[in-house]
Structure 1
Amino acid sequence: MNIAFYNHTSDVSGAEISLLLTAKHLKQAKPVLFAPEGELLQRARDHGLETVGIPSYRARLTRNPLLLLLHMLGMLWAGYLFAKQIRKHRMDIIHANSLRAGIMAALFCWMHRLPVVWHVRDNPPNGAIGKAIEQLASTAVSAILCISNSVIQGFDTDKLKNKLYLVHNGVSIREMTPEEKTFHRRNIREQLNTPPQSHVLVIIGQIAPWKRQEDAIRAAHRLIQDGMDVYLWVVGEPKFREENQTYRSSLGQLVENLQLVDRVRFTGFREDVLEICSAADLLLLCSDNEPFGRVIIEAMSQSLPIIATNAGGPREILENGTSGLLYEVGDVEHLAKHAAGLLTYQNLKRDMERIALKRVKEHFTIERTVEKVEAVYQEIVSAQAKNKLKFDKSVGKEVSP
């Protein structure tokens, strides 16, 4: 099978990292990545993947009807150009890596005539837009891969029940030796001007209001007020929207107001996530309804304990009290209490590290993800073959056994 992976943007975030990892580990299919020129295609080429550069259009949800119309026209044009380009290649399935890419591919299925798979990595929109997306999916999409049950529940499951598949993200397990972990702990702490004996909390991800990095800052402040020697690393950068830039500025102001300038490190985007996990003591995930939380399984693979919000994907990944700790969104007091407990009781922390590593190996490896994805591909190809057989019989063609 030749699979056209379609991504509407060249920017790299968690969704694109998952795409590259999946494409790289396919066993029964050959991937070709279609995306605008930029960082994503360059990373794909570095991985030895075949790529095709295409034009794109960055649409935005807005309440302004004129801007909404403009964005819709832009998406239609991008979808048309993609369909035109893909007809030049011998592909069997289009695997769209987002709802936006999926919409563009599905709207022009009459032109490229290929089955379309949506890989939905965000919670789908509500209201009229959500209903329109579901209607399109019901008529023009062969399968919808959802990264969590939380994402599945965002769809009309009655209308789409035969097209929805749960496919959790997976991580490539790379266990580091104690010597490697010691090296990274020393090296990264030196880079980030953090004492070797201090406790380090880390929050990793795109800087955006719904990621709620301010909760991690306030929790670190409470721990420090209680006399704990704590530093916080905020790993990530604002992308995609102006409001994310504004939010990043507000985080800097919060750090100043709480007099934490010497305790909080804004690192920007980092590619060495596993190494950072090896150098920290706790991972915090404070998001409001995180669709999955890829960084959680990355931290689990390095035996780093996690405290995450009890909403969306994290509660599917973590077993509260054993492989991680959950707290309610925005409850900074409980977040700080959980962190203090794990940093104080080392036996509890070590047990959680061991169980987390075991759980990620059993449930969230990239090999399991790829196995489920390729099973969906096979279902689609088999269904196409059966339909073709029925059609050939109906028009009186001789069909080989």
Structure 2
Amino acid sequence: MKAVFLAHTAAPSGAELATLRLVAAMPQGHTAVIYTEDGPMVRRTQQRGIETRLVRNDFDSRAMTIQKAGLRSLLSGCAGLVRLGWALGATVRELEATVVVAGSTKALLMGAVAARRARVPLIWQVHDRISADYFGRWLAPAIRLLGWLVARGCIANSRGTLASLYTWRRRALVAYPGVEFDTPEFTDLAQGSAAITRAEQRPAGETVITVVGRLAPWKGQDHFLRALADARILPREVFLVGGTFFDEESYRAELEVHATALDLPVTFTGHVEDPEPYLRHADILVHCSVLPEPFGQVVVEGMRAGCAVIATRPGGPEEIVDPGVNGLLVDAGDRAQLTHALDTLIADQELRAKLAEAARFRARDFDIAESARAVTDFLTRLPGSRWRHG
């Protein structure tokens, strides 16, 4: 009667944080998480009272990046994941798991071996669109096929992500990553009230803009800085909230050069454990990915915090934002559209307040408790999982 979630990294990136929220909201005692490297997520998971195991790998799986790995190193890395999967299978059996949930493509390969050794079903929890944009023309269909072959079903973080998978004769569920509403400051909001403690929307020249996310080229922070430089009215403050992972440190240096050259009032915060104070302080949240976002967790977080949101399409934000009602959408990579959206919101304090109020109500639709119930039911009904409600 236990679902074991498998993570190949312990870095606090979006997928790992989303999984932590989900597992914490599921029935206590019926979940566990296995990490294959040490890092901040191990301690965060333990602090939430979740059974946590660490099974270290004997190679650096981060070297298996799609952009950097040649065929030989990719095959060598896959062999290492298979070996690690065999070791994980023993831990899965020790935990008396009834189902393994693989939280990434690398975890899928390890999980296939672990689940087979433990003789339990495997479910693929998919956080990324399995498309050529992310994985390349040839590797994307190979990953889709692997998932279809080895997993009994999949849990996708959006309808867009689900559409990028092979699901024929497989069980499938869309479970949005969700946000938590069980903290005191959000209790009234979860129960239907828009009351929340935060500053009112500021006048045009005093606006504060926040961009939250890992500093990575596909997240589009450089695109945002150029679009902002073209705006008619500059905000008083801009916060780029996020750190660098996976050998992307040079990108932050490029952003700092851009901000200085364009004379923009930008503060780089680096990685922060909880971006909520920055969101609560901001008037506008900008989501500026230049590739289709699988979901857009920060968009929901910004809406919950009462920001007026600008987000990019296509991708998950289209499933979150109703344009002109609770936020604005612009085409990914379109600098002129982003500048126009910034001009519109910065100049119109009343519009910002209207969108922010509607956004707070919209955020209630993404309560992590609802996703946890859906995932629990999905795993409960999985044939062969042996998980039954008691």
Q: What TM-score results when the alignment is normalised by the length of structure 2?
A: 0.87
Query: Aligned partners of 2:80 and 2:100: how far apart in 1?
Result: 20
Determine which of 334, 338, 341 is the counterpart of 1:338. Answer: 341
Deviation, 1:256, is 2.4
Partner of 2:94: helix, strand, or coil? coil
Check conservation: 1:306, 1:325, Cα contact below 8 A: yes
Check conservation: 1:120, 1:151, Cα contact below 8 A: yes
**1:43 and 2:48 matched:** no
Query: Aligned partners of 1:245 and 1:92: how far apart in 2?
Result: 40
* Correspondence for 1:79: 85
Answer 1 or 2: higher relative contact order, Cα 8 Å, separation at least 6.
2
Query: Aligned partners of 1:51 and 1:28: how far apart in 2?
Result: 13
**1:3 and 2:11 matched:** no
Change (3 A) 1:297 1:229: closer
**1:308 and 2:311 matched:** yes
Q: 1:156 is matched by which residue type in structure 2?
A: Y
Query: Aligned partners of 1:65 and 1:331: how far apart in 2?
Result: 34
Deviation, 1:43, is 0.6
**Which structure has the larger Rg?**
1
Determine which of 198, 211, 214 is the counterpart of 1:203. Answer: 211
Determine which of 55, 60, 63 is the counterpart of 2:65. Answer: 60
**1:354 and 2:357 matched:** yes
Q: Which moved more, 1:345-354 or 1:231-240?
A: 345-354
* Correspondence for 1:15: 15
Q: Which moved more, 1:20-29 or 1:64-73?
A: 20-29
Query: Aligned partners of 1:3 and 1:145: how far apart in 2?
Result: 13
Q: Which moved more, 1:291-300 or 1:64-73?
A: 64-73
Q: 1:312 is matched by which residue type in structure 2?
A: G
- Please give the root-mean-square deviation of Cα atoms over the aligned residues, in Å: 2.6
Q: 1:284 is matched by which residue type in structure 2?
A: V
- Identity percentage over the alignment? 26
Number of equivalenced pairs: 367
Deviation, 1:228, is 3.6
Deviation, 1:197, is 7.3
Q: 2:103 is matched by which residue type in structure 1?
A: N
* Correspondence for 2:191: none
Q: Which has the higher helix share?
A: 1
Query: Aligned partners of 1:250 and 1:142: how far apart in 2?
Result: 43
Change (3 A) 1:197 1:370: same
Q: Which moved more, 1:145-154 or 1:118-127?
A: 118-127
Partner of 1:340: helix, strand, or coil? helix
**1:370 and 2:378 matched:** no
- Alignment map for 1:86-165 (pairs within 5 Å): 86-124=92-130, 125=135, 127-157=137-167, 160=168, 162-165=170-173
Partner of 2:120: helix, strand, or coil? coil
Q: 1:78 is matched by which residue type in structure 2?
A: L
Check conservation: 2:209, 2:238, Cα contact below 8 A: yes
Deviation, 1:207, is 0.7
* Correspondence for 2:198: 181
Deviation, 1:383, is 5.1
Q: What TM-score results when the alignment is normalised by the length of structure 1?
A: 0.85
Q: 2:4 is matched by which residue type in structure 1?
A: A
Partner of 2:198: helix, strand, or coil? helix
Deviation, 1:373, is 0.5
Check conservation: 1:235, 1:270, Cα contact below 8 A: yes
